Structure 1
Amino acid sequence: MTDQTLWQSIAGTLRAEIAGGVRGTGDRLPTEAQLSARFGVNRHTVRRALAALAEEGLVHARRGAGVFVAPARAEYPIGARVRFRQSMEAAGRVPGKRILASESRPASEGEARVLRLSPGETVHVTDGIALADGAPMALFHAVYPLGRLPGLPKALAEHGSVTRALMACGVPDYVRVSTRISAVLASPVEAGHLKVAPGAPLLLSEAVNATPEGVPVELGFTRFAGERIALTLDHS
């Protein structure tokens, strides 16, 4: 076997053990040395296999503790208040975020209509990847009305959290006023970011958040990896 075939074979064996329940959620995998001995390969080959499983969201590493089987699928409730970070923490996951692009520009006609802006008003746009235990869970595209949120770009950079950034801009609370969910297929670029196969099913959420008084503060488009997250509607 070639080196590539070897690590793919090892990843396939471990993947099957996880799927079959031999290794359950939270179980620690054998050490690299133990896996090397089991499969008769060097540690570099084992690391490539473990890295592939981590990219798929099946395992995650804890510094100094080892590699563990990740929870099968995260529950993400969609209700009056939708907060990715809090939802992942409540599920025992470690949330994270990686920003891919950020810019301020004139609003498009559609953005201006949804956010109730005058044509050409400035919006701030961020694109990024939402993570849980280091695994990519979703791609997000968020549009904010900059005139209502002075200082938002700096606040987002400083706080990382949308909730804290909005609070710093004078919005202490916000609620979900609309959500539209549809199924789409991952483009090659989206698949690369989410570590899924091109054409894999994604859940597309188109949502508007507003102040309790009904003033829009965010228009968001989020593409969730269907194999890693379940969207649940919270009617409470």
Structure 2
Amino acid sequence: MCDTTPKTPIWKAIADALRSDLAEGRYTPGDKLPTEAALAERFGVNRHTVRHGISALVEEGLVRTRRGAGAFVAAIPTDYPIGQRVRFHENLIAAGRRPEKQILDVEERAATDGEAKALVINTGDPVCAYHGLSLADGQPIAVFESVFPLSRLAGMASALQDTSSVTEALRALGVNDYTRATTRLTAVRARATHALHLQVSEGDPLLRTSSVNIGEDGQAVEYGRTWFAGDRITLTLES
């Protein structure tokens, strides 16, 4: 007598097993899953079957893959409010995440046309450009570039080397408070350098913000652009 009981496809059983691993906390957001070869050995199947199971989790948003790097547990997006007062550390702490910044580069150079227009200075005027990486719980969530007019903020490069905090660096130079005057949001694709720092694939969706911050006297003190990993952050607008 033939057994007519429906059988679960092997790839689906693998997806179910990995889904249980995630639910039980065996892997946490940002963790890398075992390689296809390791999973194939664990389940006694070929790598193609493993790949099919992982693809199901990718479609559900539980896992993300990066070519040449493997599969990673998708992070829970962090709410990040965009309003007049935007403070990286305060925002992430309020969301229950551990904030961290890494300085990639600090340089003094001439302002581009776009930077000059945003900062209300002349093209070619000296500026300080601060390139960095923002992390939440050790996972990169954004790459940023902040540009400061040296005519108003002489010594900004040294101040940023002493502290990765823009707020603290500005305070050291006499800007005790600042607010966001303008913000522009744009959906873009990750360039190779962004992909490297954010641990995503080139071409993956990013959210880019372009903003101008002003001091208490109304003068522009910072022009910033930030590229957020689209699957790790939820930007919320505050009035």
| TM-score w.r.t. length of structure 1 | 0.72
Q: 3-state SS of the aligned residue for 2:122?
A: coil
Residue 190 of structure 1 corresponds to 194
Over the residues paired in the alignment, what is the CA RMSD in angstroms?
3.1
Partner of 1:227: 231
Match of 1:121 in 2: 125
> 1:24 Cα shift?
9.9
Q: What is the CA distance between 1:213 and its match in structure 2? A: 2.9
Maintained 8 Å contact 1:76/1:231: yes
Runs of 4+ in 1 over 2 A off after TM superposition: 12-19, 21-27, 55-59
- State the alpha-carbon separation in 1 of the partners of residues 72 and 174 from structure 2: 36
Task: Please state how far the C-alpha of 1:147 moved relative to its aligned partner.
Answer: 1.5
Partners of 1:96 and 1:134 within 8 A in 2: yes
Bigger radius of gyration, 1 or 2? 2
Q: Please tell me whether the aligned partners of residues 89 and 99 of structure 2 are also in contact (alpha carbons under 8 angstroms).
A: yes
For the Cα contact (< 8 Å) 1:74–1:229, is it kept in 2?
A: yes
Question: Which of 217, 220, 223 is equivalent to 1:216?
Answer: 220
In the superposition, the TM-score normalised over structure 2's length comes to 0.71
> Residue in 1 aligned with 2:19?
16
After TM superposition, the structure 1 = structure 2 runs for residues 108-147 of structure 1, keeping only pairs within 5 Å, are 108-147=112-151
Matching of residue 74 in structure 1 with residue 103 in structure 2 = no
Q: What is the identity percentage for the equivalent residue pairs of Structure 1 and Structure 2?
A: 42
8 Å Cα contact 1:56-1:195 kept in structure 2? no
What's the counterpart of residue 177 of structure 2?
173
Between the aligned partners of 1:57 and 1:85, the Cα distance in structure 2 is: 25
CA distance in 1, matches of 2:122, 2:144: 24
| C-alpha distance 93-56 of structure 1, shift in aligned 2 (>3 A) | farther
Name the residue aligned to 1:148.
152
What is the DSSP-based 3-state SS (H/G/I as helix, E as strand, rest coil) of the residue aligned with 1:130? strand
Partner residue of 1:200? 204
2:111, 2:125 within 8 Å by CA — same for their partners in 1?
A: yes
- Please list the CA deviations of residues 119-149 of structure 1 after superposition, one character each: whole Å capped at 9, or x if unmatched: 3211000112111111000010111101211
The number of equivalent residue pairs is 193
Give the counterpart letter for 1:167 in structure 2. R
Gap runs ≥5 in structure 2: 1-14, 32-37, 43-64
Output one character per residue of 1:183-227: Cα deviation in whole Å (capped at 9) or x when no partner. 011122211110112221100101111113321000011000010
In structure 1, what is the Cα distance between the partners aligned to 2:24 and 2:155? 51
Q: CA separation in 2, counterparts of 1:14 and 1:103?
A: 49
Contact conserved, 1:100 with 1:129, CA < 8 A, in 2?
yes
